[in-house]
Amino acid sequence: MTGKKIIRWLERFQHWLWDTDTATVTPVRAKGLIAARILYRVIHDLMQGQLTLRAMSLVYTTLLSLVPLLALSFSLLKAFGVHNQLEPLLQNFLAPMGEKGVELSAQIVQFVSNISVGVLGSVGLVLLIYTVVSLLQKVEEAFNFIWHVSNLRNLPQRLSGYLSVVMVGPMLVVTALGITASVLSSSLVSAVLAIEPFGSLFYALSKLLPYLLVIGAFTATYLIIPNTTVRWRSALLGGVVAGILWETVGWGFAAFIVSSAKYTAIYSGFAIVILFLVWLYLNWLVLLMGASIAFYHQNPGYQTRHGGHTQLGLHRQQTLALEIMRVLGESFQRGENRYSAESLASEFALPRESVDEVVEKLRREGLVVQSCEDSPHLMPGRDLQAIGLKEVLDVIADETTQSIEVNVSEGVFDVMHELDEAIEEHLAGKTVRDLLEH
């Protein structure tokens, strides 16, 4: 295939991918088109290097925080007498490393078991908790970057949320394993499994169980960690893709370990450390890719050729401003007040930055206000009958053109003046409430 043919093929592909209107094709083709756009954006983000950079940063933080994290979890599990479950869980995570994984998990568990949280003292305990919180904060920062969220949770929310994950998470896992073991060991279940097709179905389910557990863990992570509202459908899609990819990467990494005897000979004792670093990096990268998939699925405004924020022209900003006032007005009248800048961006299928820009212009003029709650929402700044449509348009026009001075001829000035007068005459007396009556 010649270079010109490749270029033509790529141009046709780009035209199909970005210029096809999903409303004009069948639902199946529309879903395929959306999936291709999401895949394109995720691959583009990977090639840009931001996801890989943050994955490498998380590997470094994990190395510093792994032992303190396990020490806290181990102490809690030990209090309930189920601390022996820690090593099998760790071995399962490091299973793709083969014998090196078994060796490393045993060493980590031995090191953790030698740490007594009770004798660390207050300073040592604070440092231990700080190290764990730093890891989880790094994870939240990475997720917030993917979700275009600039602010972390406040300190009390971070401490309570992070420590809940550390303390409650291991207990939930161990409890689930204990319940599963108890159910399977009962005579009634054994008798049912001896009957076909229940036995075959259970065998098939047991093969799917690792995937289901990983998918469930990833989905919960995408719902909880980002400092924004994530829809469960988007989180589930990211969890399914990331879970399947994680198991697939595990197979590939295990195959690499089998064929890497020469690397083990070269690096000797350092081989286990290097392999562990690579495995951690792949895990974080898969987790971040799943978060990116969830983000693009929930925010179709970013499923574009360039992905990020695009500057809207004056006409489109004015159109968006009127639509924002209409939506907020309807929500306010119904007593819901459920819209934020993020939910508005999702409602209009626009990038968050484009909506933020218009909302900020309306907010500066008092046409829109934001509540002072933990999850703030937007609402009209005045009575709907006191907000004229011309006023909304003028706010956007003045904000957009205030720094631009153009010397025009008298004829052009007269035309623009007549246009302004026509708009003012047509919209005279019309308010945001009139938008709600159409």
Task: Quickly list DSSP for 190-250.
Answer: HHHHTSTTHHHHHHHHHHHHHHHHHHHHHHHHHHHSSSS---HHHHHHHHHHHHHHHHHHH
Residue 267 scores a pLDDT above 60 = no
| C-alpha angle 189-190-192 in degrees, rounded to nearest 5 | 65
**Residue 308 in domain:** no
Higher per-residue confidence, 292 vs 380 = 292
Q: Which domain does 33 fall in, by range?
A: 3-47
pLDDT of residue 241: 93
Give the mean model confidence (pLDDT) for residues 303-320.
Answer: 74
Q: Is residue 131 included in any domain, yes or no?
A: yes
Does residue 226 lie within any of the structural domains?
A: yes
364-368, long-range: CB within 8 Å, 24+ apart, which pairs? 364/399, 365/395, 367/325, 367/391, 367/392, 367/395, 368/324, 368/325, 368/328
The residue out of 256, 276, 302 marking a domain boundary is 302
pLDDT (0 to 100) of residue 218: 87
Q: Is it the case that residue 141 has pLDDT exceeding 80?
A: yes
Answer yes or no: do 328 and 187 share one domain. no
Angle (CA) 427-432-434 rounded to 5° is 70
- Give the 3-state secondary structure of residue 403: coil
pTM of the predicted model as reported, rounded to 2 decimal places: 0.71
Decide: 173 and 216 in contact? Cβ < 8 Å: no
Alpha-carbon span 246 to 437, nearest angstrom:
51
Of 210 and 296, the one with more pLDDT = 296
70 and 149, same domain (yes or no): yes
**Alpha-helix runs per DSSP H in 259-351:** 261-267, 271-298, 314-334, 341-348
Assigned domain for 307 exists: no
C-alpha span between 140 and 69 (Å, rounded): 16
Please report, for residues 95, 171, 193, 282, 388, the alpha-carbon distance to residue 249 in angstroms, rounded to integers and kept in the order given.
12, 27, 32, 8, 58
Q: What pLDDT shows up at residue 318?
A: 84
Same-domain pairing of 267 and 244: yes
Give 315-363 pLDDT, tens digit per residue. Answer: 888 888 888 888 888 888 887 767 887 778 777 777 777 888 888 888 8
Least confident among 63-67, 154-158, 332-336, 340-344? 154-158
339 and 400 co-located in one domain: yes
Task: Tell me whether residue 309 is in a domain.
Answer: no
Residue 136, C-beta contacts closer than 8 angstroms, at least 6 positions apart:
158, 162, 165, 166
Q: Would you state the pLDDT for residue 293?
A: 94
Q: Per-residue pLDDT averaged across 272-277, rounded?
A: 80
Per-residue pLDDT tens for 388-420? 888 888 888 776 555 455 566 777 777 877 887
Domain's final residue, options 277, 302, 327? 302
Q: What is the pLDDT of residues 215-236, one digit of tens each?
A: 888 888 898 888 888 888 999 9
Residue 328 in any domain: the answer is yes
Would 118 be classed as within a structural domain?
A: yes
CATH label of the domain that carries residue 424 = 1.10.10.10
CB 103, CB 167: distance < 8 Å: no
Q: What is the pLDDT of residues 93-133, one digit of tens each?
A: 777 777 777 777 777 777 666 665 555 556 666 776 777 77
The string of DSSP letters for 37-96 reads HHHHHHHHHHHHTHHHHHHHHHHHHHHHHHHHHHHHHHHHHHHTT-GGGHHHHHHHHTGG
With bands split at pLDDT 50, 70 and 90, how would you rate the model's confidence at 12?
confident
Q: State whether 135 and 235 are in the same domain.
A: yes
- Give the containing element (helix H, strand E) for 187: helix 187-193
Residues 7 and 77 grouped into a single domain: no
Q: At what angle do helices 27-48 and 3-19 cross, to 10 degrees?
A: 120
Contacts with 1 (C-beta within 8 Å, 6 or more apart), sequence order: none
Both 54 and 135 in one domain: the answer is yes
118 and 159 in a common domain: yes
pLDDT at 161: 66
Are 269 and 399 in the same domain? no
Total domains in the chain come to: 3
* Domain shared by 324 and 185, yes or no: no
Residues 335, 369: one domain?
yes
Farthest CA pair distance, the chain = 95
Query: Is a pLDDT exceeding 70 seen at residue 148?
Result: yes
To the nearest whole number, what is the mean pLDDT of the chain? 76
Closest CA to 148 of 347, 305, 354: 354
Final residue belonging to a domain, choices 302, 333, 354: 302
Q: Are residues 147 and 286 in the same domain?
A: yes
